[in-house]
Amino acid sequence: MRKKYKVPQHIKEYIEKELYSYIDNQNLIKELKEDIYYNSVENDGQPKGNQTSNPTEQKATKLVDTRSILIAEKKIKQIDKAFNRLIPEEREIAKSIFFKGYTQVFAQMHENINKDLYYHVKNKTIYYVAIEYGEI
């Protein structure tokens, strides 16, 4: 008999949202890092244009962006850690569910994954990610 991976509904919904936005978080990190890298101003002491510079605003913007990067990186590492707890076959099924967006019917028709296995892997993945997030 399989172990039941029960997670409270509100936590399950939050974790599912995080899993479905995993790829978006990876892209966000890449964009923010590129933005900081390409927008970093080299100060040679010469004025740049006719606008007044606001160093406080620039610093605050970089701090917010850096914080966003750290939060997204932390979430990605926690999800990766949870995925590594799955056996390789389950990991591939979980990637199909959350990263490729396969529904149960699509997975059954195209990947030959039965309904029981689909929901078992989905719930197990959500359970492990919830543990990594410290939600349960």
69 contacts 30 by C-beta, under 8 angstroms: no
- Report, as an integer, the average pLDDT of 53-63: 64
Gap between the Cα atoms of 123 and 117, Å rounded: 10
Tens of pLDDT along 65-88?
Answer: 677 778 888 989 999 999 999 999
Whole-structure pTM value: 0.74
Q: Which two tokens stand for residue 101?
A: 């967006």
Tens of pLDDT along 20-49?
Answer: 989 888 888 888 777 766 665 555 555 555
Average pLDDT of the chain, as a whole number: 82
Domain positions in the chain are 9-36+56-133
Residue 1: pLDDT over 50: no
Q: Compute CA distances 48 → 42, 56, 59, 62, whole Å.
A: 11, 17, 17, 19
Of 13, 85, 109, 1, residue with least CA distance to 96? 109
- Report, as an integer, the average pLDDT of 93-108: 90
Task: Provide the 3-class DSSP secondary structure of residue 44.
Answer: coil
Residue 128: pLDDT over 90: yes
